[in-house]
Amino acid sequence: MNTPVPKQFLRLDGKPVLLHSISAFAEYDPSMRIILVLPTDQFEQWEKIKAEYAVTADIQVAAGGETRFHSVQNGLALISDSEPAIVAVHDAARPLVSRKTINTAIKAAEHYGNGVPAIPISDSIRRIESATSIAVDRSRYCLIQTPQCFSLELLRQAYRQDYKYTFTDDASVVESAGAPIRLVDGNTENIKLTLPIDMAIAEAMLKYRLQHTNDLSGGTHP
């Protein structure tokens, strides 16, 4: 992002990116328990944001780990085994997740043990091999989003594995533990803010939502 401010704290439409992501879940289900995983040196900044924006949602904070894998482990540690639950793991830098995507992934996890949002690839893609590249069939691939939703038992069991560098998301961890992954429809505007231009795109998408009753995925915006 070329900024000293962590991207989850950058202002998007007047409030931190992180609050947009939290609001998507808090408004989907006000009773939902939210666990926020942050580096310990960002705890103070989070407390300032809570006060500034009068955050009332029930949010617990866990310390981030060396990798995403270890951060999720730390978040899971705050959930009791006695709590029958569906756990939705979401990137704070995806503030435009739709209510429909959240609902679809959670419902899939309730029925099948997991639900992972995905969208088709519209660009042509090539596989790089050494000094050359080879065209591949894009219909056999998709882009993966969050929230990735799992039964607590399945996710906790998967995170008992030792860390592997191939673990890029929760689905790869669960798949490595032997469980098949259930893909569900994601929403195209559920982008992960990575580059400065992504902030401008997200601002435009938010303005579009304000001007239309339905969001880009056909559901009602929270």
For residue range 83-95, list pLDDT tens digits in order.
Answer: 779 999 999 999 9
Interval 154-172 mean pLDDT: 97
Question: Do residues 159 and 72 touch, judged by C-beta distance below 8 A?
Answer: yes
Q: What rounded mean pLDDT belongs to the chain? A: 93
Its pTM stands at 0.91
Residue 217: the pLDDT is: 47
Digit-coded pLDDT (tens) for 33-90: 999 999 999 999 999 999 999 998 889 999 999 999 999 999 999 999 887 799 999 9
The two three-digit tokens of residue 164, written as one number:
């592997």
Residue with tokens 């961890």: 173
- What are the chain's domains? 7-211 (3.90.550.10)
Measure CA of the first residue to CA of the last residue in the chain; give whole Å.
28
152: nearest Cα among 64, 97, 107, 88: 88
Residue 221 CA to its chain's centroid (Å): 17
Signed CA dihedral, 58, 102, 64, 7: sign only: negative
Residue 216: the pLDDT is: 44
Interval 26-32 mean pLDDT: 94
Interval 137-161 mean pLDDT: 97
92: nearest Cα among 1, 183, 173, 193: 193
Residue 153: the pLDDT is: 95
pLDDT more than 90, % of the chain? 87
Residue with tokens 């609050």: 19
Question: Taking 90 as the threshold, does the pLDDT of residue 102 lie above it?
Answer: yes
Question: Do residues 24 and 102 touch, judged by C-beta distance below 8 A?
Answer: yes
Neighbours of 111 (CB within 10 A): 10
Neighbours of 52 (CB within 10 A): 11
168 vs 215, which has greater pLDDT?
168
